[in-house]
Structure 1
Amino acid sequence: MPSAVLLGYRIATARALAGLTRSQVSEASGVSVSMLRKLESGERSPSDAVLDVLAETLGTTADELLGGPGRTDSRVHRAIPAVQSAIATYDLPDDGPIRPTEALILGVDELTHHRVNSRYGQLAEQVPPLLEELFRALDTATGGHRRRVAHLLTLALRAADAVAYKFGYTDLSARLIGLMHWAADFAEDPALLAAAAYVRIEIYFASDRLSQGLRSVETALDAMPPLNTVTQVASAAALHMRAAVVAGRMRNADQARDHLSLAELLVRQVPERLYDGTAVGPDSLRIHQLAVAVELADPADLDRAMAGANRWEPPRTLAAERRSHYYIDLGRAQMQLGQREHALESLQVARRIAPQHVREHGQVRAQLATMLRLSRGRNEELRAFCRWTRAV
């Protein structure tokens, strides 16, 4: 999308958040209504002076209008340099203490728990020292113990990536994903390599290179050995679900449905739980089916998905982030069907389940901004939600 259009989008959203009409903004800023209309539509780009006066009138700053939503959780951003430092010497770790394996397992389990329940502040603060300890442990371990440590390190790196990716540190995220593959190689576990391939899709989402992302998932599926364990079956099912979402975002309905069908066959063989940090099972499949319907935006698929949503909700036994994802996608489906009030209700449910996840979710911010403009800023609950997420 051209920068002028993006800037116009943000100006219009900021005006709606302020509850002002174009005439009111014009009167306060001296920018004509016709010029304001052209700016909001992306037909014109404002000069620096005009942008400054509009930002002041709308109660924001020129930098925020130019750069998009601001940062939220300061705990996470304070911890990022420590994460970067922890991985800087991954292959030449400093000397230091290494706890018994049981303690390392508990530490990684806690990180994974924080990740799947969207507790990003706690996760960001706890991950650097544990990564450093696991790098030391891998450097000194041998044989089967080294494979076990490598497995733990891969999961810890995945937890670190969740923070980096969701808070916009895309270069750091790509580095962490590369290290996931490096550590997974030491583990010599095909299911863990599949988990790393699952996470790698984030790189392609961030760079909008979806066709390459779909190829990477399908390549990982082709590389998997015969599915002889429950964990391997679950890993393959997760990759098929991931591929379905990517194909859906590409509006490739045939590929998306094929991958969902293959995932459904595999999911019948595994109970719902976390496998190497990824939730897989019948409930997760239903959540992905809704996500694919939203990405495809096909009316028939949406009608089926909405009919299913009226009869089902994700059980509380699922991790908070996965349940929150479901209600975010439900809200997106409701928006596509013109049900704005229901969409806001769904986002509020998602917020109650996993507030940090919702607050940092780009699709939530975009959806709220659209809803705010369509309501012309008249819904105070919606305005408060937008302020909380910094959707402007």
Structure 2
Amino acid sequence: MSNTAHIGQRIRELRKIRQMTVRQLATSIHISPKTLEKYESGDRNPPPGIIAQLARSLHVGPDRLTGQPYLNGAETIEQVQAVIPELRRILLTYDNPDDLLTAPRPLPVVAAEVDHISRMRQDGRYVPMGPLLPGVLSELTHIALSTRDPREQAQAYWWLARGYRATNSLAHKLGYHDLSLTAIERFRWAASHTEDPMLKVTGAYLRAGAMVRMGAYGSARRVLEALDGEIERMAPEGCLPPAYLAVQGAVLLKLAVLEARDGHPERAQQRLAEGRACAELLRQDTTHYEMSFGPTNVRIHEVAALIDLGDTEQALARLREWGAEQDNDEWELPSGIAAERASHHHIDVAAARLAEGDRAGAHRDLVRARELAPNHVRFHPTVRQTAAALVRLDRGQSDTIAGFARWTGV
């Protein structure tokens, strides 16, 4: 199956391989045959929740439908995939690493590099980040396994966990989902050797996020609800410190996305309201434990939940409503938001505009997303789907739209 095929073609081909009719596949995921026909023809792009359901019914992973990893087109120029084999080797030998040619640098020096990598991850700068990962992971592994100082060992594992988190993000964004899952398990292993209970919560949160992407909503819901309760029990006299409050808010927003993708709008709204209450206590946008959370991210998730529920009209109306508060036509994100988070918002909004027939607006949001985090945009499946649809619908054959699509590798 060609990577250049659009997602609808892949759905149709796999449906025929499974000897299913349009009606049978549509019924299995509770959508109309007409909607499925639009997905297969490329007239409409399925949202992430539908992709996960389709993949499950067709007995494949979501990456089989999205065509990941993307190895064709412009990506080969950047050679970002060249780091993947080495990362596989390092994650495989995590507790019995290969010898280093030179002694590892002091822990504070390696930790500073991991901190830099973490900022690059939050800004979606995967291409320059990737080559840095194998070296720091190897050094931190050797420090953690060899030091006899319990305090330094716990710190080494703490920084190693952050390195594994960056590896998870890189693998996930490039479409190497098996490697992403391995990196999450390595994160959890490293976190278990630290004295930071919230780092262990973060590991479970990352695992639940992978479950949501795979459409395992029941399992993810149980994990996230348990984490919400666990964080509450950590509160001294019912008062959570800001970092814990931010992680709890991120858990609640993940639950909101889950409920939206699972087709439960009332539950999604309830979780959003709970997340909003956490954000009101924080009063600012934060990145505790590398999770973007605060009033802005609650609004971003509110729009995303509406889009996942298929209510793109209401999602765009919400942007206009919030824009009026700023004396703007539409809501503008405040400065200082992590570039990847802001970029993801514009990707979602572009898909919503396309669904509402605003092709020019969809293109503008894709361009804005690229300005914020080009590496993130180039490897994002929704960007490819939206760009490919814009090209198919562009009767004027605009060089600008076609050029953007070529840049993504379509």
TM range (shorter): 0.7 to 0.9
Output the CA distance in 2 between the equivalents of 1:8 and 1:281. 36
Query: Does the alignment pair 1:86 with 2:100?
Result: no
- Cα distance, 1:302–1:250 mapped onto 2, change above 3 Å: farther
Report deviation, 1:181.
0.9
Q: Structure 1 residue runs of 4+, over 6 Å off? A: 5-8
* Distance change (3 Å), C-alpha of 1:290 and 1:239: same
Q: Does 1:284 align with 2:291?
A: no
Residue 243 of structure 2, aligned match among 231, 238, 249: 231
Question: Alpha-carbon deviation of 1:78?
Answer: 0.6
Asked if 1:107 is matched to 2:119, the reply is: no
CA shift in 2, pair 1:127/1:10, >3 Å: same
Matched residue SS, 1:186: coil
Matched with 1:170 is 177
Residue 296 of structure 1: how far off its partner (Å): 1.6
The match for 1:346 among 365, 371, 384 is 365
Letter of the 1:346 partner, please give it.
Answer: D
Q: Offset at 1:6? A: 6.2
- State how far apart, in whole Å, the 2-side matches of 1:222 and 1:88 are: 33
1:188 match: secondary structure: coil
Q: Distance in 2 between matches of 1:7 and 1:259?
A: 31
* Equivalence map 1:173-252=2 (5 Å): 173-224=180-231, 225-227=233-235, 228-252=240-264
Amino acid at match of 1:164: A
Structure-1 residue corresponding to 2:309: 296
Number of residue pairs aligned between Structure 1 and Structure 2? 340
Counterpart residue identity of residue 292, structure 1 = A
Q: CA RMSD in A?
A: 2.8
Q: Which amino acid aligns with 1:91?
A: D
Residue 266 of structure 2: which of 245, 254, 270 is its match? 254
The runs of 5 or more residues in structure 1 that have no matched partner are 13-39, 43-64
Counterpart mapping for 1:5-154 below 5 A: 9=9, 41=41, 70-71=70-71, 72=75, 74-96=78-100, 97-141=103-147, 142-154=149-161
Q: Aligned AA for 1:277?
A: E
Cα displacement string for residues 93-152 of structure 1 (whole angstroms, at most 9, x for unaligned residues): 345423223212211111111111111122110001100111112113443333222221
In 1, Cα distance between the equivalents of 2:66 and 2:318?
A: 40
Distance in 1 (CA, whole Å) between partners of 2:176 and 2:162 is 19
Give the Cα separation in 1 of the matches to 2:68 and 2:153: 44
- CA–CA distance in 1 between the matches of 2:66 and 2:268? 35
Q: How do residues 324-343 of structure 1 correspond to structure 2 at under 5 angstroms?
A: 324-343=343-362
CA distance in structure 2 between the aligned counterparts of 1:280 and 1:66, rounded to whole angstroms: 28
Are the equivalent residues in 2 in contact too, given 1:328–1:347 (CA < 8 A)? yes
Contact 1:165 1:202 in 2 (8 A): no
Task: Please give the alpha-carbon distance, in whole angstroms, between the structure 2 residues aligned to 1:324 and 1:8.
Answer: 25
On the 8 A contact 2:68/2:175 being kept in 1, the answer is: no
Q: What's the offset of the Cα at 1:297?
A: 2.3
Return 347-356 or 327-336, whichever deviates more: 327-336
Structure-1 residue corresponding to 2:322: 308
Deviations 1:57-102 (A, max 9, x none): xxxxxxxx99678421543211111111222221123454232232
The Cα shift of 1:199 comes to: 2.2
Change over 3 Å in CA distance of 1:102–1:389 after alignment to 2: same
- 1:190-237 per-residue CA deviation (whole Å, 9 max, x = no partner) reads 321222233224422443333333332223223333333221111111
Q: Are the structure 2 counterparts of residues 66 and 183 from structure 1 closer, same or farther at C-alpha, using a change threshold of 3 Å?
A: closer
Q: Cα offset for 1:157?
A: 0.4
Q: Distance between the aligned counterparts of 1:362 and 1:176, measured in 2?
A: 21
Residue identity opposite 2:222 in structure 1: R
SS in 2 for 1:317: coil
Q: In structure 1, the residue corresponding to 2:191 is in which secondary structure? A: helix
Quickly say closer, same or farther: Cα 1:291–1:140, change in 2 above 3 A.
same
Q: Which amino acid aligns with 1:9?
A: Q
Instruction: Give deviations 1:266-316, integer Å, cap 9, x for gaps.
Output: 112333232111112222222222211211223445422443254431223
Cα deviation code 1:144-179 (max 9, x no counterpart): 333222221111101011111111111111100011
Whether the 8 Å contact between 2:161 and 2:191 is mirrored in structure 1 is: yes
CA distance in 2, matches of 1:336, 1:7: 16
Structure 1 or 2, whichever has the larger Rg, is 1
CA distance in 1, matches of 2:161, 2:263: 32
Q: What percent identity do the matched residue pairs reach?
A: 31
> Which structure 2 residues correspond to residues 337-376 of structure 1 after superposition, within 5 A?
337-376=356-395
Deviation at 1:349, TM superposition (A): 0.6
Q: 1:209 to 1:371 in 2, by over 3 A?
A: farther
- Give the conservation status (yes or no) of the 8 Å contact 1:289–1:305: no
C-alpha distance in structure 2 between counterparts of 1:274 and 1:148, whole Å: 20
TM-score, length basis structure 2? 0.75
Q: Tell me, which stretches of 5 or more residues in structure 2 are unaligned? A: 13-39, 43-64, 324-328
- Alpha-carbon spacing, 1:362–1:230, altered in 2? closer, same or farther (3 Å): same
